[in-house]
């Protein structure tokens, strides 16, 4: 068995890599998505994400892999460790560089240890944990962070001595609703009335919603979606242009079978849009943008249309991305996310361990209470 560090995913074949990705895993783990990030330059030395993927071969056959990056900043990770970076000097720690095992700019839970044989998952998790330790020593990295792994993987790393951190996302879970009104039955009367009013606003503003899938995907639409993406990231102080136009063009060409974009249009004019992807029984919302401010349009394009699609296509879950304030009020349920962390300074690690333990208890309580409240609501 041979373990290699691969600095360009294109050194590995698409067929070999994708053979490791489970059928029920998010599409963002597939070779085409990861390759598009590197080919476009969205990921690379200038971005603060340097690919250092782990690849394990047996008799020259790729049997396990892990997407890994050296980081010189904390941009685009969505498991926020800014406070850790700020505190590190007080413990005599230079925080950067660090190692990250994740999909760049993508806060979506999925396997991080990819294996050809599922029976070898635990074994390769131990192999890669040791390999990450060795790679970190060579780089003089302060720490290693595995972001948005499955709960099973988080447990395996925790058993190996890593710190286990929990977070929250808000997802729509299809409970077999026949109609949107069935879904609304969980809400008190006032909330149901508000959501109906928000949904009807699209028609009152003379807009229509259109889905763009593989059959209608064009380079021109890729450019439109990129411009929509910029309207959001350029609007907010925390926004960053992580992605570029070449990335959108490559994805529209090579990944179109996984894409399901939603455009809000006034006649033939595009007003707003959402970059969604779909695989198996899950829908994933990634980016949103609008060329003009229209009342309630964000909720309709990014939330309600996704819920409607889940009902129409009998999808089980809609993951609309990070953040929660607006999602919570519209019936998206809190869901626990996971990350695991290896901090090499004993004193610094002990301080972070105390923090993540208290944070995890809070997360568990919030998720439990909010789910109980949602299913306890309904018609008065």
Residue-wise pLDDT for 223-250, tens only, equals 999 999 999 988 876 668 899 999 999 9
pTM: 0.96
Taking alpha carbons only, the member of 272, 340, 275, 324 closest to residue 28 is 275
What confidence tier does 377 reach under pLDDT thresholds 50, 70, 90? Answer: low
> Does a structural domain hold residue 190?
yes
Summarised one tens digit per residue, pLDDT across range 174-204 is 999 999 999 999 899 999 999 999 999 999 9
Return the structure tokens found at 71.
Answer: 């980081």
CB 345 within 8 A of CB 91: yes
In the chain, % of residues over pLDDT 70: 98
> Does a structural domain hold residue 320?
no
Q: Which helix (H) or strand (E) covers residue 194, if one does?
A: helix 189-204
27 with 62, same domain?
yes
154 with 210, same domain?
no
- Count of domains in the chain? 2
How far apart, in whole angstroms, are the C-alpha atoms of residue 355 and residue 372?
26
Q: Which domain holds residue 366?
A: 2-169+335-373
**CB-CB neighbours of 380 under 10 Å:** 6
> Does a structural domain hold residue 271?
yes
How far apart, in whole angstroms, are the C-alpha atoms of residue 130 and residue 142?
15
> Does a structural domain hold residue 208?
yes
**Burial tier of 228 (Cβ tally within 10 Å: 0-12, 13-18, 19+):** buried
Q: Which residues pair with 62 in a beta bridge?
A: 57
157 with 179, same domain?
no
Note the pLDDT of residue 379.
42
156 with 184, same domain?
no
> Does a structural domain hold residue 378?
no
365 with 216, same domain?
no
Taking alpha carbons only, the member of 305, 368, 302, 310 closest to residue 335 is 368
- Give Cβ neighbours of residue 211 (< 8 Å, ≥ 6 apart): 260, 261, 262, 263, 309
16 with 158, same domain?
yes
> Does a structural domain hold residue 322?
no
> Does a structural domain hold residue 330?
no
C-alpha distances in Å from residue 11, one per residue of 8, 49, 54, 226: 6, 17, 12, 28
310 with 349, same domain?
no
Taking alpha carbons only, the member of 267, 25, 55 closest to residue 150 is 25
300 with 355, same domain?
no
Note the pLDDT of residue 292.
96
Region 100-122: what's the mean pLDDT?
98
111 with 197, same domain?
no
How high does pLDDT run on average in the chain?
95
Summarised one tens digit per residue, pLDDT across range 288-323 is 999 999 999 999 999 999 999 999 999 999 999 988
CATH number of the domain within which 279 lies: 3.40.630.30
* In the block, residue with structure tokens 């593989």: 214
In the chain, % of residues over pLDDT 90: 92
36 with 135, same domain?
yes
> Does a structural domain hold residue 327?
no
The four Cα atoms 332, 334, 336, 341 give a dihedral, to 10 degrees, of: 100
310 with 181, same domain?
yes
C-alpha distances in Å from residue 169, one per residue of 83, 130, 274, 330, 331: 20, 30, 18, 13, 12
203 with 351, same domain?
no
> DSSP character for 332?
P
């Amino acid at each position: 068995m041979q373990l290699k560090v691969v600095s360009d995913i294109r050194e590995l074949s698409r067929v070999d890599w994708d053979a490791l990705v489970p059928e029920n895993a998010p599409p963002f783990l597939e070779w085409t998505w990861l390759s598009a990030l590197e080919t476009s330059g969205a990921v690379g030395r200038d971005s603060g994400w340097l690919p250092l993927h782990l690849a394990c071969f047996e008799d020259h056959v790729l049997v396990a892999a892990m997407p890994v990056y050296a980081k010189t900043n904390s941009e685009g990770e969505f498991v926020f460790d800014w406070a850790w970076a700020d505190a590190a000097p007080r413990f005599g720690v230079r925080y950067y560089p660090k190692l990250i095992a994740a999909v760049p700019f993508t806060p979506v839970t999925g396997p991080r240890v990819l294996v050809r044989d599922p029976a070898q998952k635990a074994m390769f998790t131990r192999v890669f944990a040791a390999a990450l330790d060795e790679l970190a020593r060579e780089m003089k990295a302060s720490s290693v962070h595995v972001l948005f792994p499955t709960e099973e993987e988080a447990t395996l790393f925790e058993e190996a001595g890593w710190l286990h951190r929990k977070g929250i996302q808000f997802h729509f879970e299809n409970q077999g609703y026949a109609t949107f009104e069935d879904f609304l039955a969980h809400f008190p009367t006032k909330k149901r009335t508000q959501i109906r009013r928000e949904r009807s606003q699209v028609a009152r503003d003379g807009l229509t919603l259109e889905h763009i899938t593989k059959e209608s995907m064009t380079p021109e639409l890729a450019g439109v979606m990129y411009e929509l993406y910029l309207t959001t990231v350029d609007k907010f102080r925390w926004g960053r242009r992580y992605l570029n136009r070449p990335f959108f063009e490559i994805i529209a060409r090579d990944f179109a079978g996984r894409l399901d974009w939603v455009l809000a249009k006034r006649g033939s004019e595009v007003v707003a849009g959402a970059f969604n992807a779909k695989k198996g029984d899950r829908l994933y919302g990634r980016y949103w943008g609008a060329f003009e401010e229209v009342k309630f349009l964000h909720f309709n394009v990014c939330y309600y249309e996704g819920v409607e699609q889940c009902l129409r296509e009998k999808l089980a879950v809609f993951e609309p991305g990070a953040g929660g304030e607006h999602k919570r009020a519209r019936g998206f349920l809190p869901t626990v996310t996971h990350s695991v962390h290896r901090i090499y300074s004993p004193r610094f690690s002990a301080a972070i361990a105390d923090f993540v333990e208290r944070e995890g208890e809070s997360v568990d309580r919030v998720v439990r209470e909010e789910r109980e409240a949602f299913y306890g609501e309904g018609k008065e």
